[in-house]
Amino acid sequence: MQNNIQNNNNNNNNNGNNKKKLRSKNVVLHFIAGGAGGAMGVICTSPLEVIKTQLQAKNSMLLVKDKPRFMPTTFYSLYHLVKRDGKRGLFKGLGTHLSGVVPARAIHFSTYSLTKSVMNKLGYTDGPTLWITSAVTSGSAVAIVTSPIWLIKTRMQLQTSLKNFNEGTQYKGFLHCCFSIVREEGPLGFYKGLGASLISVSESAFQFVLYEGFKNGILKLKRENGHENPNELTTPEYLISAGVAKLIAAFSTYPHEVVRTRLREQVKPGTVSKYKTVLQTLYLVAKEEGLRGLFGGLGPHLIRVVPNSCIMFLTYEFVLDVHQAVSSVFNKFNNNKH
C-alpha cells in the first residue's frame, strides 16, 4: 500500500512537471502570452510611467517647485500634469510604449522559455543558474532590439508645456521625433542609453529568479503540507510572487533607471550633453544631486511597476492556462473520436 501511495505521489509530481515542461517548450505561445501581459500592464499604469520619467529628468525640480511639504510628490505631479497638458498628458508616449512593450515582453518571455528549454536539454535542472542565464539572455535580446523605441518613448514623455523643462525640438509626434533624431543626432542617437539598458538586465534577471523561487517555494510548502492541489498556484499566489519579486528587484537596482533617462534626454541642437557614459552619469548625478537624484521618481516607479508586474504575469499565466485547457479539451475530443 505504501508503494501505491508513493507511486501516486510520483505520478502527481510527474503530471505537474509535464505540465510545466509542455508550457516551457511552446515558444509561440509564450511569445503571445508575454505580449498580451506586457500590453495590459502598460495600459493600466501609463500615467505613473509618464510621471516617473519626468521626475527622473535633470530639470525634475521644476515639477515640484511649489509643492506643499505634506503633499506626496506622485499625486502632486499627476495633478499638475493634467492641469498643464490635459488628460491626454497622462498617456504621453503610450502608442510608442505599446509598440515597444508588446514585442519586448513577447521576445523576453519567448527567449526566456526557449533558453530554459535548451538548458534543460543540456542537463540543467530548474534552479538559480538556469533562471539567471535565461533571464540575462532574454533581457539582453530585448534591450538591443527595442532600444530605439524606448528612446523615442522617453523623449515623447518628456515633452511638456512646463517652461524651461525641455531643451531642443518640440516633437509633434512619433514620426517627427524619429526624423528629428536622425537629423540632429544621427542614426546612433537611437541607441543612447543602451549601456544602461543592458545593465538593467540585472533587474530583470533578479526579478525572474525571485519570481521562480517564490513560485517553487509556495509549491514546495503545498506538497509538504499535503495540499489539495500541490502542483498549481492560485491567482493570489501568482500575484504575491510577481509583486514581491518586482518590488525587491526594482528598488535594489533603481539608479540605473535615472541614468538611462539622463542619457536619453534631448539637448539643444549643436550642444553636447554633459551625460556621456553610464558610470560618468552615475557619478555626476550622485555628486550634484546626491541620493535624492539617484532615486528621483522612485515613488511613482514602485507604485507603477508592482501592479504592472502583477497584471503582466497574471495575464501571461492566464493565457498559458487557457491554451492548456483548450488543448486538453481538443485532445479528449480527438481521443474519443478515435
Neighbours of 152 (CB within 10 A): 23
Residues 174 and 93: their CA atoms lie apart, in Å, by: 8
- Averaged pLDDT for residues 275-299: 92
- Averaged pLDDT for residues 315-325: 81
For every residue of 292-334, DSSP letters joined together read HHHTTTHHHHHHHHHHHHHHHHHHHHHHHHHHHHHHHHHHHHH
Query: Residues 252, 210: contact at Cβ < 8 Å?
Result: no
Task: Give the pLDDT band of residue 96 (cuts 50, 70, 90).
Answer: confident
**239 vs 290, more confident:** 290
For residue 7, what pLDDT is reported? 47
* CA-based torsion, 92, 96, 98, 100: positive or negative: negative
Task: Give the pLDDT band of residue 286 (cuts 50, 70, 90).
Answer: very high
Query: Residues 46, 90: contact at Cβ < 8 Å?
Result: yes
Written as nine digits, the cell of 134 is: 535565461
Nearest to 56 by CA among 83, 77, 39, 86: 77
Written as nine digits, the cell of 18 is: 509535464
Q: Residue with C-alpha cell 521644476?
A: 62
- Averaged pLDDT for residues 204-230: 85
Task: Give the pLDDT band of residue 338 (cuts 50, 70, 90).
Answer: low
All structural domains of the chain, each given as residue ranges with its CATH number in brackets, are: 28-320 (1.50.40.10)
Task: Give the pLDDT band of residue 8 (cuts 50, 70, 90).
Answer: very low
- What is the residue-averaged pLDDT of the chain? 82
- Tell me the pLDDT tens digit for each residue of 159-172: 888 887 877 778 88
Residues 144 and 146: their CA atoms lie apart, in Å, by: 6
Written as nine digits, the cell of 55 is: 521626475
Q: Which residues contact 143 (CB under 8 A, 6 or more apart)?
A: 194, 197, 198, 200, 201
The shares of helix, strand and coil residues in the chain, as percent rounded to the nearest 5, are 80, 0, 20
Least trusted range by pLDDT, from 12-26, 190-204, 317-331: 12-26
Task: Give the pLDDT band of residue 26 (cuts 50, 70, 90).
Answer: low
Task: Give the pLDDT band of residue 282 (cuts 50, 70, 90).
Answer: very high
- Tell me the pLDDT tens digit for each residue of 250-264: 888 899 999 999 999
